[in-house]
Amino acid sequence: MTAAIYFSPTYTSKKGAEAIAAKMAGDGEILSIDVTKKDVCPEKTEFDSDDLVVFGAPVYGGRLYRGCRERFRRFVGKGTPCVITVTYGNRHYDDALIELFDLVREQGFRPLAAAALVGQHTYGHIQVGRPDETDLAEDRDFALRAAQNLEDGVFLETVPGNRPYVKGDEGGKGGNFRPLTSEACTGCGLCVRECPEGAIGEDCRTIDPEACISCFRCIRICPTGAKNMDVPAYQEFAEEFSRKLSQPRKNEYFL
C-alpha cells in the first residue's frame, strides 16, 4: 500500500505529497490521509515494512507546526519506507525537514528520500500559484528516483538542518494574525467545520486567539469572502514581506 499523509491547511503540502505518492504507486491507488483537522480518525494508522508512506507538512517559522507533530504521532511504522516533504513559502525551511526526519524515525519509519518544496506563502503575494505544473513535474521526477532508492534498499542518513533545532520550543506555533469577519458572512459554518484547531465559534465570527494558528484556511475557503485581513497593519506587513521574498526559490530534493 502507498499512502500520502499530510497536514495542509491551504492545500499546498497536499499537492506535493499526493503527486509523489501517486507516481511511486505506479498503476496502484494511493490512500490519502488528511490530518489537517483535529477530529480526523484515520482509517489506517499502522504500516508494515512492505507499505510506503509519503508525509507532507508545511513549515511554520522554520519548524513543523506543533499540531502537525501531534497528528503524525498517530501513525506507527514497522520499518516502513517513507518519503518526507516540507512545503515552505519561499523564505527557508530551516530545521523543519530534519525535525520531520527525526519524528518519522521515532515512529518506526525509514526515510528513503526527502524534499523541501516551495509553495504559495500564506501571507502576502509570494509565489502565487505554486506548486504549479512545473513544480509537480519535478516532484514526479523525484518520485521516480525515490522509487529507485526503494528498489536498491538505499535510505537517508540525514537531511539539512540543526540539532538541537535553532528555535527550540518556540518554533512551530503559528503566526500572530487573527482573521476578521465582514458583514458578508452568511453563517454557513464552513470555516467552523474546517478550522484545523477548532478556533472559530459557532457564530462563525468569534475566534479564539490562543487556538488560532493564522493559517488563513478560513480566508481561503470562505465562499463569500467574509473572512479577511483587511487592516492596515497586516496589509503593510504583507506588502513588505512580499517584496523581501520576491525572488523565487527552487525545490530541493535529497536522495
Q: Could you identify the residue written with the cell 498517530? A: 74
Which is nearest to 103 in space by CA: 174, 48, 42, 165?
165
pLDDT number for residue 232: 93
DSSP string, 118-166: E---SSSSSSTT-S-HHHHHHHHHHHHHHHHHHHHT---S--SS-SS-T
pLDDT band at 245 (very low <50, low <70, confident <90, very high): confident
DSSP string, 155-223: --S--SS-SS-TTGGGTT---S---EE-TT-----HHHHH-TT--B-TTSS-B-TTT-----HHHHH-T
Highest mean pLDDT among 49-53, 232-236, 246-250: 49-53
Q: Characterise 110 by phi-psi region: left (phi > 0), alpha (psi -120 to 50), beta (else).
A: beta
Is the pLDDT confidence value at 213 over 90? yes
Work out the number of other CB atoms within 10 angstroms of the CB of residue 5: 26
Model confidence pTM above 0.85:
yes
pLDDT band at 29 (very low <50, low <70, confident <90, very high): very high
The phi, psi pair for 101, rounded to 5°, reads -55, -50
CA-CA distance, 110 to 97, in Å (whole number)? Answer: 14
Please state, rounded to an integer, the average pLDDT across all residues of the chain: 94
Average pLDDT over residues 74-79: 97
Average pLDDT over residues 225-247: 91
More confidently predicted of 213 and 125: 213
Is the pLDDT confidence value at 154 over 90? yes
pLDDT band at 170 (very low <50, low <70, confident <90, very high): low
- 113-140 pLDDT, tens per residue? 999 999 998 898 889 899 999 999 999 9
Q: Could you identify the residue written with the cell 503527486? A: 19
More confidently predicted of 195 and 237: 195
Which is nearest to 93 in space by CA: 114, 112, 70, 69?
114
CB 5 within 8 Å of CB 57: no
Is the pLDDT confidence value at 10 over 90? yes
Is the pLDDT confidence value at 167 over 90? no
CA-CA distance, 149 to 114, in Å (whole number)? Answer: 12
